[in-house]
């Protein structure tokens, strides 16, 4: 055991975390990393139609702030909304107090969204002071209220899309001659001056760019000398492709492992839309929202949760109710969120973990989503000596902790369950040391005859043992080699553990590998090269049922690309034909698109649907040599576009599916 303790000091995974002492921040990101939770506010003229225009309603997947683009509303008609914008019930103090009571530490307010309407007093006349009966500067009111209540303040600005200024709609597939013009002139005469205005007038701590289509590094350089004047300004990564900014911005999803080593922030809605939607009642529960916050914090990120005020200036009641419920949970458990760092555990079956370091102690906060049936929380691979364990809401309620081999057990059988998540605290004077389970790598999730996998670990001097019969590995189990090959008659699960000195020290890792039958090719002859395509136009937020739609154009394409499109947005494609598979084997397909796409090959579906940037999804499939029916669907709603299909076989890199493999009858 002495040897084992010495080896523990070699630190496989020491989780160092930022201090939470009351000190002056060392750099501009310190307060932001401690905050963990903020409010996004999407508010503009789009709150008046609220998802409906001329008896047409936005569809599922379409967000209300994009209504002008979706429904191709002429510039003059949309600008006329300004004369109706009079949010007389708006109270900036109430907005900020609501965010503060919810446990939020910062607010990011839209100063100008894609509609081009400024929510501040601007030299450009299309603004809330000069073009509306309201006549008041909303951004100024929010900035002052944030300062009054000690809330950090940021501004969103859409630099690359502006549907109501000439040249600003270049990347949206403009639909009105009034939008014609030079994009560079738009940047010089509208975007650059307005960035100067909002930074100098309101002194935001965050500048939140959006949708950088048509932006280049040369165009981004127009903003760089302005930003350079504000060294403490936090900027995100959406100014221009290739410019990282200070933080990553995953939208409407929580990345599986976060972005290790980077600052990141998941921005998400409470229902399905960013701006106010009168007909969007698909509200997430308070439980989902609290658990999103916990999940994001456990991965080292921030949660930017959106509200969309009405045209009257009110935050919708369902948003208020949820924010108050989140606030009630945060009043008790905020310590387990603020100033914490990512979990040292790769996986916990019952919930999540956040950690914090002070001068005297390290704290592990165990967020229980699902109480174990036997009342015992098991922490795999935790090697640190625990000094105390207790409930966060009742620190006098001490809990029993015991070590059981490679697991630490915490008895929570008498802990009262809280709504949404129950937090248990572990204190240790040691560094937080966790021996995570080994990594099991397989090139494919399926196999035909033999399955191959590798098992690795970053634990010094660890010996990895594994099983394939469902049992937990022991010192007599098979020893992991550089490459392990199994000729299995059926699907199986690999289980692996790390051992030091004959003792199991890590968590248990598992990977399921499925044995599948090869899908036969179809016996066709005299096929012609290329795929048949059908071209459609329409405004969608997800793939429509193309079988119910009449194509505007049809023909043959030699490649899987977008060369047959007639405009830059609001169109769809269906490509049909056959894919020539050169050899029998397991293939991995990678379908990448902006926006949504889907591939169906020999009855198997690879789904990459939805509104998103250039994003890829993959699928493994066993195919016999020969022709296989294939169909690819795609739609583009706005912004950048792209469609690419790649494939690979064992030991090879992805390559684009080229024209020599595409056929039709």
Reply yes or no on whether the pLDDT at 81 is more than 50.
Answer: yes
Query: Cα–Cα distance between 104 and 98 in angstroms, integer?
Result: 9
Kindly state whether residues 76 and 148 are assigned to the same domain. yes
If one counts every other C-beta atom within 10 angstroms of the C-beta of residue 515, the result is 16
pTM: 0.87
The CATH number given to whatever domain includes residue 485 is: 2.60.40.10
If one counts every other C-beta atom within 10 angstroms of the C-beta of residue 535, the result is 16
Domain boundary among 395, 428, 461: 428
- pLDDT at residue 12 in the model: 38
Kindly state whether residues 501 and 586 are assigned to the same domain. no
If one counts every other C-beta atom within 10 angstroms of the C-beta of residue 122, the result is 24
In sequence order, the β-bridge partners of residue 382 are 434
- pLDDT at residue 610 in the model: 87
Query: Cα–Cα distance between 356 and 389 in angstroms, integer?
Result: 15
The CATH number given to whatever domain includes residue 51 is: 3.20.20.80
Task: Tell me the pLDDT tens digit for each residue of 488-500.
Answer: 899 999 999 999 9
- pLDDT at residue 637 in the model: 83
Q: What percent of the chain has pLDDT over 90?
A: 86
The lowest-confidence range among 107-116, 286-295, 448-457 is 448-457
- pLDDT at residue 483 in the model: 85
Kindly state whether residues 596 and 459 are assigned to the same domain. no
Rounded to the nearest integer, the mean pLDDT of the chain is: 93
- pLDDT at residue 639 in the model: 64
Kindly state whether residues 157 and 269 are assigned to the same domain. yes
Confidence of residue 275 (pLDDT cuts 50, 70, 90): very high
- pLDDT at residue 611 in the model: 80
Q: Does residue 31 belong to any structural domain of this protein? A: no
362: cis peptide before it, omega within 30°?
A: no
Task: Tell me the pLDDT tens digit for each residue of 464-484.
Answer: 999 999 999 999 999 998 788
Domain boundary among 270, 305, 335: 335
Confidence of residue 23 (pLDDT cuts 50, 70, 90): very low
Kindly state whether residues 211 and 105 are assigned to the same domain. yes
Reply yes or no on whether the pLDDT at 8 is more than 60.
Answer: no
Kindly state whether residues 305 and 234 are assigned to the same domain. yes
As a whole number of angstroms, the longest Cα–Cα distance in the chain is 80
In sequence order, the β-bridge partners of residue 578 are 629, 663
Confidence of residue 540 (pLDDT cuts 50, 70, 90): confident
Kindly state whether residues 297 and 410 are assigned to the same domain. no
Kindly state whether residues 102 and 230 are assigned to the same domain. yes
Kindly state whether residues 500 and 604 are assigned to the same domain. no
Confidence of residue 547 (pLDDT cuts 50, 70, 90): very high
Q: What are the phi and psi torsion angles at 336 (to 5°)?
A: -85, 0
Give residue 362's domain range: 340-428
Confidence of residue 26 (pLDDT cuts 50, 70, 90): low
The CATH number given to whatever domain includes residue 559 is: 2.60.120.1560
Task: Tell me the pLDDT tens digit for each residue of 288-299.
Answer: 999 999 999 999
Reply yes or no on whether the pLDDT at 21 is more than 60.
Answer: no
C-alpha separations of 167 from 4, 176, 304, 380, 427 in Å: 67, 11, 31, 57, 58
Q: Does residue 30 belong to any structural domain of this protein? A: no
Kindly state whether residues 178 and 214 are assigned to the same domain. yes
Task: Tell me the pLDDT tens digit for each residue of 577-594.
Answer: 999 999 999 999 999 998
Secondary structure class of 75 (helix, strand, coil): helix
Q: Does residue 499 belong to any structural domain of this protein? A: yes
Q: What percent of the chain has pLDDT over 70?
A: 95
- Token pair belonging to 606: 């690879």
Kindly state whether residues 242 and 106 are assigned to the same domain. yes
On the 0-12 / 13-18 / 19+ scale of CB atoms within 10 A, 604 is middle
Reply yes or no on whether the pLDDT at 3 is more than 80.
Answer: no
Please give the tally of structural domains in the chain. Answer: 4
Average pLDDT over residues 496-511: 95
Q: Does residue 291 belong to any structural domain of this protein? A: yes
Kindly state whether residues 423 and 447 are assigned to the same domain. no
- pLDDT at residue 14 in the model: 38
Confidence of residue 253 (pLDDT cuts 50, 70, 90): confident
- Token pair belonging to 561: 């690309």
Q: Does residue 520 belong to any structural domain of this protein? A: no
- Token pair belonging to 168: 């600003």
Query: Cα–Cα distance between 635 and 640 in angstroms, integer?
Result: 12
Q: Does residue 475 belong to any structural domain of this protein? A: yes
Average pLDDT over residues 264-281: 96
595: cis peptide before it, omega within 30°?
A: yes
Domain boundary among 487, 515, 543: 515
Query: Cα–Cα distance between 435 and 413 in angstroms, integer?
Result: 26
- pLDDT at residue 387 in the model: 96
Average pLDDT over residues 253-279: 95
- pLDDT at residue 1 in the model: 40
On the 0-12 / 13-18 / 19+ scale of CB atoms within 10 A, 38 is buried
Q: Does residue 443 belong to any structural domain of this protein? A: yes
Q: Does residue 447 belong to any structural domain of this protein? A: yes
- pLDDT at residue 321 in the model: 98
Reply yes or no on whether the pLDDT at 13 is more than 90.
Answer: no
């Amino acid at each position: 055991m002495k040897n084992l303790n010495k080896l523990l000091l070699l630190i496989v995974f020491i989780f160092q975390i930022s201090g939470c002492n009351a000190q002056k921040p060392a750099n501009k990101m310190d307060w932001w990393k401690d905050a963990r939770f903020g409010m996004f506010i999407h508010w503009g003229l789009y709150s008046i139609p609220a998802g409906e225009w001329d008896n047409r309603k936005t569809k599922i997947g379409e967000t209300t702030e994009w209504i002008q683009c979706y429904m191709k509303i002429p510039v003059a008609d949309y600008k006329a909304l300004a004369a109706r914008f009079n949010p007389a019930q708006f109270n900036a103090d109430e907005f900020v107090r609501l965010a503060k009571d919810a446990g939020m530490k910062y607010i990011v307010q839209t100063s100008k969204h894609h509609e081009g309407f400024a929510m501040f007093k601007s030299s450009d006349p299309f603004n809330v002071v000069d073009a509306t009966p309201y006549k008041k500067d909303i951004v100024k009111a929010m900035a002052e209220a944030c300062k009054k209540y000690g809330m950090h303040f940021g501004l969103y600005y859409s630099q690359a899309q502006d549907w109501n200024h000439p040249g600003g709609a270049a990347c949206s597939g403009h639909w009105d001659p009034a939008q014609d013009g030079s994009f560079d002139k738009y940047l010089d005469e509208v975007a650059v001056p307005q960035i100067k205005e909002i930074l100098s007038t309101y002194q935001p701590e965050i500048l939140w760019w959006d949708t950088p289509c048509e932006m280049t590094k040369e165009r981004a350089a127009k903003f760089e000398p302005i930003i350079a004047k504000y060294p403490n300004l936090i900027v995100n990564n959406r100014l221009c492709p290739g410019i990282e900014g200070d933080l990553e911005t995953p939208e409407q999803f929580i990345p599986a492992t976060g972005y290790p080593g980077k600052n990141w922030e998941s921005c998400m809605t409470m229902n399905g839309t960013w701006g106010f939607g009168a007909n969007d009642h698909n509200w997430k529960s308070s439980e989902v929202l609290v658990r999103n916050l916990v999940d994001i914090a456990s991965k080292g990120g921030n949660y930017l949760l959106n509200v969309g005020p009405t045209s009257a200036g009110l935050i919708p009641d369902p948003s208020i109710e949820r924010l108050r419920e989140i606030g009630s949970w945060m009043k008790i458990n905020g310590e387990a969120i603020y100033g914490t760092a990512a979990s040292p555990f790769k996986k916990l079956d019952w919930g999540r973990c956040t950690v914090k370091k002070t001068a005297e102690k390290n704290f592990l906060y165990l967020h229980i989503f699902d109480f174990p049936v036997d009342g015992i929380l098991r922490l795999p691979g935790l090697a640190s000596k625990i000094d105390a364990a207790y409930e966060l809401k009742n620190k006098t309620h001490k809990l029993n902790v015991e070590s059981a081999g490679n697991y630490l057990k915490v008895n929570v059988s008498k802990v009262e369950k809280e709504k949404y998540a129950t937090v248990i605290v572990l204190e240790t004077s040691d560094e937080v040391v966790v021996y995570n389970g080994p990594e099991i790598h397989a090139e494919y999730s399926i196999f035909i005859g033999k399955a191959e996998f590798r098992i690795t670990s970053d634990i010094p001097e660890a010996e990895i043992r594994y099983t394939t019969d469902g049992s937990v590995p022991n010192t007599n189990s098979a020893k992991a080699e550089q490459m392990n090959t199994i000729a299995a008659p059926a699907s199986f699960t690999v289980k692996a553990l790390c051992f030091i000195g004959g003792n199991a020290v890590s968590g248990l890792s598992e990977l399921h590998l499925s044995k599948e039958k090869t899908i036969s090719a179809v016996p066709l002859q005299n096929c012609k090269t290329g795929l048949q395509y059908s071209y459609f136009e329409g405004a969608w937020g997800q793939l429509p049922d193309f079988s119910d739609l009449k194509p505007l154009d049809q023909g043959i394409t030699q490649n899987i690309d977008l060369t047959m499109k007639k405009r830059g947005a609001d169109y769809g494609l269906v490509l049909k034909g056959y894919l020539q598979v050169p050899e029998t084997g397991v293939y991995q397909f990678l379908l990448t698109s902006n926006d949504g796409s889907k591939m169906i090959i020999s009855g198997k579906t690879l789904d990459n649907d939805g509104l998103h940037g250039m994003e890829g999804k993959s699928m493994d499939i066993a195919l016999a040599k020969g022709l296989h029916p294939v169909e690819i669907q795609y739609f583009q709603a706005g912004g950048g576009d792209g469609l690419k299909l790649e494939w690979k076989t064992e030991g090879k890199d992805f390559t684009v599916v080229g024209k020599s493999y595409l056929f039709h009858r």
